[in-house]
Structure 1
Amino acid sequence: MKRKLLVILIVASLLASAVPATGYLTSNPDIRTVAQNPTLQPGGVNEVDFKLVNDPDGPDDDTRTARNVRVRPRDTGRIDVETNELYVQSLADGVPAERSLRLNVPSDLESGTYRIPLRLTYEYDNGAGSAVERQRTIYLPVRVEPGPRFSVVDTSSTATVNGQGTLEVTLQNVGDSAARDSTVSLSSSSPDVTLGAGQSSARYVDAWERGENRTFEFETRLGESAKPGNYSLSAQVDFEKTSGTTGSSASLDVPLRALPEMTFAVSDVDGSLRVGETGTLTGTVTNTGPMAADDAVVTFQDPGPTVTPIETSVAVGSLAPGESSEFAFDVEVTSSGSSGPRQFDLGVRYYDQDDRQRQSDPLPTRADVGSETPEFDVDPVNATFTAGSGDEFSVTVTNTREHAVTDVSAKIYADSPLSTSDDEAFVDRLEPGESREVVFQLSAGGGATAKTYPVKMDFQYDDDDGDTIVSDTYQVPVEVTESTDGGLPIVPIVAVALVVLAAGGFLYYRRRG
């Protein structure tokens, strides 16, 4: 009997020594989530912060450390989880790990509580020196509060690369109540996109009813380094609920489509330009897009001191993308200008879809300038005179210009031994290429040497613009020939005169003697 009692005491002693004096028990990892403010704002991406806690029930036992904890979130219902995986190297008892999830919440999601599944994989030591891997699913509860919520319904933009335009953004209150004193803030994180004078701009709405659409316009400029295509802007709505509390929407993604730079090509350029004349520069302008150009005007920029456009702009009307129109400029090239190929800078001034006047970049084009030609061709008809005679001096005058000239007054200038008693002639009108004969009176002195003499000639006329112009001076050759009229020869007459004078002198002296 004593032996049995001793055995019982020994076993009891051994069992008592196996229990810790504190009374704690060691348990396997127990991982749960704790979130301070799991409230979601529909209509965009939400960042939800939470904690992973091992043994959240308190210090009643000792929980083994979980290692290599991997968290794989799963979508639930209409909430899309944008976070692929979270990792915690070690999750000890009572030492939480802070993490966050990106949740894309649709704008029309109903209010209520939702649970985000988190698939856990982790390892721990089972206390016997072996590593154990476990998998389990826990949940992160989130809430969608009742109140105003907002969604981007539509956007459109007229902004072009290296230009400006208007971005229209239409938002809808898809929540279950109205909003008051709302401020819509739009911001850009790209240096290529500015809104107004900076990187952000805001609009105010006093009352925004449930289901109501609101459209906001933002002045938008795209820089030189911008590229055609899509840019993403961010919008947020700060509002007051009907209850008087305030709130803010999630960040709303607002797409902006950057249109290609507005361009025009000038083609089929031709010109009848010539030094010292007024000609025409013609061509075709094409709107190469991407938008319509309303009330377009082709402009002729300053070409320098020797070339003067009569008008510096020509209206070509509205041009849809791909549409073309012809233009023509009257251009004067001064006599001091030079012939050869010349470059001219044209441009297009137009109104865009926002009714703003804009100017294209310079459009270089080339045209040839011909050498200077006389206004008239002057050909003598009757220009041969005998010394000591006079007659009609007739000349054929041809208009070499490409326009008619009127009130043509021709005048000749003769130097000795030539002289004129009628030095002017008149033609009322000369069409381009037309010839008329003009007649003057001209005489050659009796002592004129037989040879060719020049007669100078110029014209005063009115051009097609009504301007009175004095032409250059022309020289017309006049041929003088020896006299053939049979009169007494000059030498015998002189000899006879000398003989008479000598005889008279002899008689005079004789009488005196």
Structure 2
Amino acid sequence: MAPTRSLLTVVVALLVVLSALPLASAVENQVIGRPDLSLSVPDNRVAPGEATTLRVAVVNDGIIVRGGPERFTERVTTARATTLDVGEVRGLDVETESVAVGQVPEGVVGPVEIDLTVPEFVPPGRYELPVTVSYTYTGTVTYDEATPNDNPRFNDRSVTRRLTIPIVVEDQARFRVVDVDTGVQVGTNGTMAVSVRNVGTDPAREASVGLTSANSDLSFGGVATAESFVGTWRPGETRTVTFPVAIAADAERRDYTLTGAVTYTDTDGIVRTSNELRTSVRPLAEQSFSLADVSSSLRVNYEGTVEGTVTNEGPSPISDPVVVLRPASANFDASETEFAIPDLAAGESADFAFDVEVSSAADPGSRQLSFAVRYESEDGDTRTSDPLTARIQVDAERDPFTVEADDSTLAAGDSGRLTLTVTNTEDETLSDVSAKLFVDDPISSSDDEAFIDALEPGESAEVTFQISTAGSTFAKDYPVSVDFEYDREDGTTQVSDSFRLPVTVEESAGGGLPLGLIVGVGAVVLIGAAVVVVRRR
């Protein structure tokens, strides 16, 4: 019995030892570890009044408690299904709520982007942005050392950690456009004043303001960009910079977008570019004028007057304006084509007048005259308006006088007076009126000139000439003509056309021989008798 019991004891002890062996093997064939995540932001400095994007790197410093095969160590140090839930921080507007990162092995993943807006009046300083990191990982891998690829067992865990991202709102210069002013009109050049304020907390040195136009209808002297130097710029200070501006002639009158930035040197001597400047400018309407009450006293072969009223319709006042007449054709001759008028504010009017001579080749009727206004703008540039047209009437040619014969009858062989009534048909006083009579045989004149000192419009006066006829003149009407040299109110001397009038010659009284013939015969008889008497002595 003793040997059997001893053998049984050995067998039991051996079984105990053998049963213990697998347990020791399971502990030794484990890989234990975990990921260790942190967030890194290479550039966390932001400025008030701007929207920015934080570029966040996810860093995994994996921890190995017990090593083993590489693929198992990679398994236990890798974070899976990683997400970042972004919280809120007082004073900042966080635009991104959650970011899915996915698998994060040892090393660096990213960057991932978190958008946020820093309000303009956020005080400078350090802010902490909370971020909750969630992921799963395998804490332990248990495997058979002899056959590690056969059914390894994974012990997975889920982790949620609260991290923070430091954000630094810097003290720096920041800028805002507070006013834009321009008197530039559509189709003209001029200047634009832009007022910009340093709303930041730091001064700027060697500052320059740059602007860009997004539309070719508005340019800076023909180019899309312009820059103006300012110099030192203290916090809270507003500086006004001036730019040359050109507005295209066919540009619409609307708001044109301008963008830009301030380039400056900060207090550390670093050259920086500010936040974006954004504003708009609306050009003034094109300068316009109107005509009213345009009338004329023009007629064919006559120098008359064209007059009217011009109004500055705005929008700006004008200086040194001149109304310019552009004659309709070669038949219109203006001695002066420019008429200076007073300076005109918007809405003000002024009268103008031109002396225009219409040639004898012109036809009467309606004509269109063209005017323009040349002026000096507020910027000192000389400009000319668009053409202004007006219709006027050109009357038919007419004589400056009417002439009527009041006494124009005499007997054959007789002499007498030719009396004419002369009337001024013009709308002005005619002076130094000299009348000249022209006669042909059988009418003669020993006094063929007459003079009238002046004739007011519609006034009449008589002129008298001495005329005679030969005794042999047949009884009938004979033509005579008269013309007039005269002065107008403007001092010009003119000569009228000739006026043809009839002189009526009647037979001598008594019906016998003509008086001239009787006188002639009598004279012959008397001379003959005298000769006879002399001879008898």
Q: TM (normalized to structure 1)?
A: 0.77
Could you say if the C-alpha distance between residues 183 and 396 of structure 1 is closer, same or farther in structure 2, counting changes exceeding 3 Å? Answer: same
- Partner of 2:55 in structure 1? 51
Q: Is the 8 A contact 1:307 1:333 kept in 2?
A: yes
Once the two structures are overlaid, the 10-residue window that deviates more, 420-429 or 470-479, is 470-479
Report the Cα offset of residue 255 of structure 1. 2.4
Query: Contact 1:269 / 1:282 at 8 angstroms: preserved in 2?
Result: yes
Q: Give the match for residue 488 of structure 1.
A: 513
Please, which of 423, 429, 434 is the counterpart of residue 398 of structure 1?
A: 423
2:278 is aligned to 253
Q: Secondary structure at the match of 2:60?
A: coil
CA distance in structure 2 between the aligned counterparts of 1:136 and 1:373, rounded to whole angstroms: 110
Contact 2:328 2:370 (C-alpha < 8 Å) held by counterparts: yes
Q: CA deviation at 1:444?
A: 3.0
Aligned counterparts, 1:391-430, within 5 A: 391-430=416-455
Q: 1:112 aligns with which of 108, 121, 125?
A: 125
Q: How many residues align?
A: 470
Determine the C-alpha separation between the residues in 1 that align with 2:193 and 2:343: 24
Conservation of the 8 A alpha-carbon contact between 1:26 and 1:64: no
Whether the 8 Å contact between 1:42 and 1:249 is mirrored in structure 2 is no
Cα deviation digits, residues 232-269 of structure 1 (max 9, x gap)? 21232222234433222122113212222221222232
3-state SS of paired residue (2:311)? strand
* Counterpart Cα distance in 2 of 1:440 and 1:428: 17
1:96 to 79, 90, 110: 110
User: 1:467–1:325: structure 2 CA closer, same or farther, 3 Å change rule?
Assistant: closer
Query: Deviations 1:373-416 (Å, cap 9, x if unpaired)?
Result: 11211222122233322221121112222221211111121122
Query: In structure 1, what is the equivalent of residue 290 of structure 2?
Result: 265
Q: 1:483 to 1:172 in 2, by over 3 A?
A: same
Aligned to 1:455: 480
User: Does the CA-based 8 Å contact 1:88-1:97 persist in structure 2?
Assistant: no
1:396 and 1:149 mapped to 2: Cα distance? 93
Cα-to-partner distance string for 1:67-116 (whole Å, 9 max, x where unaligned): 9x9x9998963x678xx77998985535526658584753x654334567
Contact 2:364 2:395 in 1 (8 A): yes
Q: Does 1:383 align with 2:400?
A: no
Task: Determine the C-alpha separation between the residues in 1 that align with 2:467 and 2:167.
Answer: 117
* TM-superposed deviation, 1:209: 3.2
Task: Pick from 293, 307, 320 the counterpart of residue 345 of structure 2.
Answer: 320
Q: In the alignment, is residue 436 of structure 1 matched against residue 450 of structure 2?
A: no
Pick from 32, 39, 43: which aligns with 1:37?
Answer: 43
Which deviations, in whole Å up to 9, do the C-alpha atoms of 1:286-327 show, x marking residues without a partner? 332222334443332344322233443334434333333443
2:385 aligns to what? Answer: 360
CA distance change for structure 1 residues 484 and 472 in 2, over 3 Å: closer, same or farther?
same
Q: Equivalent residue for 2:355?
A: 330
> What are the residue-to-residue correspondences of 1:302-313 with 2, within 5 Å?
302-313=327-338
CA shift at 1:36, angstroms?
Answer: 3.7
Aligned to 1:501: none
**Can you give the 5+ residue segments of structure 1 that lack an aligned partner in the other structure?**
127-134, 497-513
Deviation of 1:453 (Å): 2.9
Change (3 A) 1:254 1:318: same
Aligned-pair Cα RMSD in Å: 4.1
> Which structure is larger by alpha-carbon Rg, 1 or 2?
2
Residue 426 of structure 1: how far off its partner (Å): 1.0
In the aligned structure 2, how far is the partner of 1:371 from the partner of 1:102?
84
Identify the residue that residue 194 of structure 1 maps to in structure 2: 219
Q: Which amino acid aligns with 2:265?
A: E
Give 1:435 shift. Answer: 1.3
SS at match of 2:176: strand
Deviation at 1:466, TM superposition (A): 1.0
Alignment of 1:90-239 (within 5 A): 92-93=103-104, 95-96=109-110, 101=115, 103=117, 106=120, 110-114=123-127, 142-239=167-264
Greater alpha carbon shift after TM alignment, 478-487 vs 389-398: 478-487
SS at match of 1:288: strand
Amino acid at match of 2:234: E
1:510 paired residue number = none
1:434-486 deviation digits (Å, cap 9, x = unpaired): 11111112223334343333222221111111112122222223333333353
Cα 1:437–1:40, aligned 2, differ >3 Å: closer, same or farther?
farther
Mind listing any 5+ residue stretches in structure 2 that lack a counterpart? 1-11, 64-76, 139-159, 522-537
- Structure 1's 123 and 144: CA in aligned 2 closer, same or farther, altered over 3 A? closer
Residues 51 and 241 of structure 1: CA distance in aligned 2, closer, same or farther (over 3 Å): closer
Mapped partners of 1:317, 1:176: distance in 2: 52
Task: Tell me which of 42, 55, 63 is aligned to 2:79.
Answer: 63
Letter aligned with residue 401 of structure 2 = F
Which has the higher mean CA deviation after the structures are superposed, 475-484 or 227-236? 475-484
Alpha-carbon deviation of 1:194?
Answer: 1.0
